[in-house]
Amino acid sequence: MADRARIGVTGTARRWSPSWWCTRLAVFLAGGRAVRISVLAPEPAEAVDALVIGGGDDIGVEHYGGDIRKQVKVDADRDRLEIDWIRRALNGEAPLLGICRGAQLINVVLGGSLHQDIRNLRKLTYNRPGLLPTKQVILEPGSLFVGICGKSRLRVNSLHHQAIRDPARGLKLVGRDLDGIVQAVESDGGRSILGVQWHPEYLFYLPAQLAIFRWLVRAARRC
């Protein structure tokens, strides 16, 4: 495993984290080696070649101008840690994959905005949390995502109640669900940045989803 690309994976500090273990497996199957990063282990013992910003609690509203009156579940220490790592990756041009909250946070760091709660926006898609691929995402023709996944329509899972509203400069929207809510973003300047609103780590058994991690590992090897 010494020659495998090292992929930093941020997330909760809880010992038993299904997201971490599934991401670790997906990265391994894609040819890389996952290195865990959390508030309990903020600095890995070795440098990482690429970064996954994982899913989790809501982002603190102070980072994107949200409504402070609404009750949200946040982790301020994790916000600070991941914002720092995103900036490091951007400054060092390391490949970045944002998953759910992670995609939102990359967008916020770059200057974009969020929908604080999308439940009232749902008309055609239930906002019922689930790990199975029950929701449809339509990808933009010619996008990097279509090239990675090999198809323009994906079945994905859904665990979120927030989403990207306005993309930051440097990002373009390339995937939406049936309600038009953003589900995928990528760099509009050729940088190795992808963001997905779903959780591909729980769908690693689907070739189109594992392909996202294969892209990240390939990008890490090129750096």
pLDDT tens digits along 115-161: 998 888 888 887 678 899 999 999 999 999 999 999 999 999 998 88
Identify the three-state secondary structure at position 90: helix
Residue 36 has what pLDDT?
97
Identify the three-state secondary structure at position 194: strand
CATH, range 5-222: 3.40.50.880
Q: Is the pLDDT of residue 65 over 90?
A: no
> Mean pLDDT throughout 41-47?
93
Query: Both tokens of residue 43?
Result: 């600095």
Residue 71 has what pLDDT?
61
Residues constituting the chain: 223
Which residues participate in catalysis according to the annotation?
100, 199, 201
Query: 168-186: per-residue pLDDT in tens?
Result: 999 999 999 999 999 999 9
Query: Both tokens of residue 194?
Result: 């992808």
**Would you list the domain boundaries of the chain?**
5-222
Question: Where is pLDDT greater, at 216 or 2?
Answer: 216
* Beta strand pairing call for 153-158 and 96-99: unpaired
Distance from C-alpha of 71 to C-alpha of 135, rounded to nearest angstrom? 27
Nearby residues of 23 by Cβ (< 8 Å), 6 or more positions away? 9, 11, 34, 52, 54, 99, 201
Q: Which of 85, 88, 108 is CA-nearest to residue 9?
A: 85
> Mean pLDDT throughout 185-208?
97
Residue 123 has what pLDDT?
87
Per DSSP, the residues of 14-64 read -SS-HHHHHHHHHHHHTTEEEEEEBTTB-S-SS--SEEEE---SBPPGGGT
